[in-house]
Amino acid sequence: MTIPSSKFGLRFKLSAIALAACQFISVQAYADDSAKTAELEKKLDQALQQLQVLTNRINQLEAAKGQPAAVAAPAPAAETQQKIMAQEERIHKLEQSVEQAAAANADQSMADTLVAGVPLHGFISLGYANLPKNPGLPKSGYKLDNVDFYMTPNFGDQLKALMELNFEYTDQGVLTYDLERFEIGYTINDLWNVWAGRFHTPFGEWNTAYHHGHYIQTSVDRPRFIAFEDQGGILPSHTTGVMDSGTFRVNGGDRISYDFFLGNGSRIIPASDGNTIGINLGNQLEFNPKGDDNGSMAFGGRASYLFGNTLTLGVHALSETVNTYDGSNVVLNSTKVKFFGGYYFLESNNWESIGEYYKFRNQDVTGPQGDTGTHNSWAGFAQLSYTFDNIWTPYVRTEKAALDQTDYYFSSQDSGRSYTRNVAGLRWDFNKSAALKFEFDRTHEKELLGAPDEDYNRARVQLDSKF
Amino acid sequence: MKIQLRQAVCSLGFLLAATSTVAYSGDVYVISNSSLAISADDIKDIYTGEKLVEGGVKLSPIDNNTIKSDFLDKVVHMAPDKYASMWGKKVFRDGLTAPITKSTDADVIALVKAKPGNIGYVTNPTPDVKVIKKF
């Protein structure tokens, strides 16, 4: 029993079309452009129609011969042979068309928006907040948070660069913009990645994992005490200087990583909106982009051990001297800030947890009461989340800061009060590039000596997206 | 034969109707430029952005879209969505360049041959590239 070679070829082609079409469908999942998807679906429909026509044609040919196709048939007439060849040619063209469509679709899914030949990506964040009526807090209502752009030029060799430009509204409603990261790096080998410029200070996990991209962090905001300097944070999140990072594998699948930095220390100043409309933003840390104000360099770093791509355990430390200035640039006090601590990051199946701990031993250098010695404080947080079906992620977080108010470093900062905060939220990834976050938190805050403590609740909805 | 053909067409229809990813189940050959000296143990690290340089040469992984799911499953042990998310974060956090994606063996091989640090994976390697490992 033989099968005519032309029919065998036809069946092979049909199979090839089916596989190509299936590949096309699978690749389609990566496309974001709905118009492109619709166009490809149209082509797929056309392919299916062609397939049906060819199937019908085969049935007609078999019926015309009046015998089962599996039985050896006499050589087809010249006319029939020509038709079959024509059909094969059409199938070949169709196959090419489907493959090209799939390839185009794949390329489209990986396409970048280019600015001067450099891919441009970023994040957008906005939302609604229901807040307590308190003169010291922002008002309830819709909020524009930030638009964060970043670019990573590809120099083609070991040289690399990263620029992150962030536009955001402060709690006072002032639009600010900043080059949050502006660094150039060189990879000597896996152990020596040297960076210079402005970078996010390597402490803990959160500060260097999520940067200003709200979308990639599970929750609406960072824990309060590690927020950025102009958003209530009490740590120097940014540093201008040099940093070295490295990593190497141990015990098969485990990994040890480290970061060490040296840079300008920060200072505390009464921040404003740049005197555009004279809004006082309160005393904040400032990262000294153009030289260290007191000549005392900051240094520190972290080291971590990654267990089997699941659990990271790390330690971190930092030291710098921070001066506080008044509006006339007069030094009010000076503190030698030192902290050390540890952190973890767990990512297993659908579970994710992150926690950090900071122990401060700050020493007053100068101030209204002179050298008041060493002050002990601490702060920490832990967050836990679980993702269902890659879409729904409920999460909880608890955070606490016990900050000595006789420590000039904390008492000089507007947000340097002790507090506890408990957060519960739900993240809904309704789109591959966007998520809605619903979050409720309760805060207990200790005010400066003599002032009553404060309790308040906040409910927020935030839309975060990436591009 | 008619029955067989109809069965085949039905099967094709079923396959076409199924929107799940169709994984390539054959062998996957990880290849590199002939001048590059890397070991099979480095492959996962290279495709997860942990290993960036070898012998002073910047490593540039290339994805082959046709067999990407199978490669990620066999070698990187990661789902495609997770892989894309991981690289998005790597680019943002560390300033790395995500793997280039090509759609055919020929495209991947051409790119691997073009630059010393390029590595890729294909179903049918050619003699002019180095096969690091077959999975």
Mean pLDDT along residues B7-28? 53
pLDDT at residue A123 in the model? 94
Sequence spans of domains, chain A: 5-109, 114-466
Instruction: Work out how many domains chain B is built from and give that number.
Output: 1
In this complex, do A189 and B53 lie within 8 Å of one another by their Cβ atoms?
Answer: yes
Domain coverage including residue B109: 23-134
SS3 category, A190: coil
Confidence (pLDDT) at A186: 93
- The Cα–Cα gap between A175 and A231 comes to 13
CA A241 to chain centre: 23
Q: Which residue of A has its CA nearest to B115?
A: A156
Whether residue B4 lies inside any domain: the answer is no
Looking at the complex, does the CB of residue A86 fall below 8 Å from at least one CB of chain B?
no
When pLDDT is cut at 50, 70 and 90, the band that residue B95 belongs to is confident
- State the smallest CA–CA distance between residue A322 and chain B in angstroms: 27
Domain A114-466 in CATH: superfamily?
Porin (2.40.160.10)
Could you tell me if residue B77 is inside a domain?
A: yes
Contacts of A383 (CB under 8 A, 6+ apart): A218, A219, A223, A353, A354, A355, A395, A396, A397, A423
Closest CB to A216: pick one of B9, B89, B104: B89
CB-CB neighbors (< 8 A) of A51 in chain B = 9, 12
What's residue A368's pLDDT?
77
Q: B36 vs chain A: nearest CA distance in angstroms?
A: 15
Return the DSSP state at A325: E
pLDDT in the model for residue A58 = 63
C-alpha B35/C-alpha B128 separation (Å) is: 11
Nearest to B21 among A26, A71, A209 (CB): A26
Helix (H, G, I), strand (E, B) or coil at A288: coil
- Tell me which chain B residues have a C-beta less than 8 angstroms from the C-beta of A18: 12, 15-16
The DSSP 8-state label assigned to residue A388 in this structure reads: B
Identify the residue with better confidence: B134 or A73.
B134
- Whether residue B83 is contained in a domain is answered as yes
DSSP state of A74: P
**A62 vs B: CB within 8 A:** yes
Residue B2 lies in a domain: no
Name residues 383-412 of chain A within 8 A of B (Cβ).
390
**In this structure, which amino acid lies at residue A429?**
D
User: What is the per-residue pLDDT for B89?
Assistant: 87
Confirm or reject contact between B79 and chain A (CB < 8 A): no
Tell me the count of A-B CB pairs closer than 8 A.
111
Q: Which residue of B has its CA nearest to A467?
A: B88
Cα Rg of chain B, angstroms? 17
Asked, for residue B34, whether it belongs to a domain, the answer is: yes
* Angle (nearest 5°) at CA A239 between A238 and A241: 155
pLDDT per position in chain A (467 positions), as tens?
334 444 444 454 544 444 444 344 443 433 444 455 556 556 656 655 665 656 566 666 666 655 444 444 444 567 777 777 777 766 655 555 455 444 444 443 444 565 666 778 899 999 999 988 877 678 899 998 899 999 988 777 889 899 999 998 887 778 888 888 999 999 999 899 999 999 999 999 999 998 888 999 999 999 999 999 888 899 999 999 999 999 999 988 899 999 999 999 999 998 765 545 555 668 889 889 889 998 889 999 999 999 988 999 999 999 999 999 988 889 999 999 999 999 999 998 899 999 999 999 999 988 777 777 899 999 999 999 999 998 999 999 999 999 999 999 999 998 899 999 999 999 999 998 999 999 999 999 987 767 788 899 999 999 999 99
Alpha carbon of B127: minimum distance to chain A alpha carbons (Å): 25
d(CA A302, CA A314): 7
In chain B, residues with a C-beta closer than 8 Å to the C-beta of A110 are 100-101
ipTM (interface predicted TM): 0.74
Residue in B16, B20, B103 nearest the CB of A48: B16
Supply the pLDDT for residue A111: 47
pTM for the complete prediction? 0.75
| Cβ of residue B81 closer than 8 Å to a chain A Cβ | yes
Q: In 3-state terms, what secondary structure has residue A245?
A: strand
Output the pLDDT for position A16: 45
Residue A125 corresponds to which tokens in the numbers above? 């964040």
At B67, which CATH number? 3.40.190.10
Q: Which of B42, B47, B65 to mutate to test the interface with A (most CBs of A within 10 A)?
A: B65
Measured over the CA atoms of residue A220, residue A226, residue A230 and residue A232, the dihedral's sign is positive
C-alpha to C-alpha distances, A460 to A168, B1, B88, nearest whole angstrom: 17, 65, 26
Residue B59: band (very low, low, confident or very high) from pLDDT cuts 50, 70, 90: very high
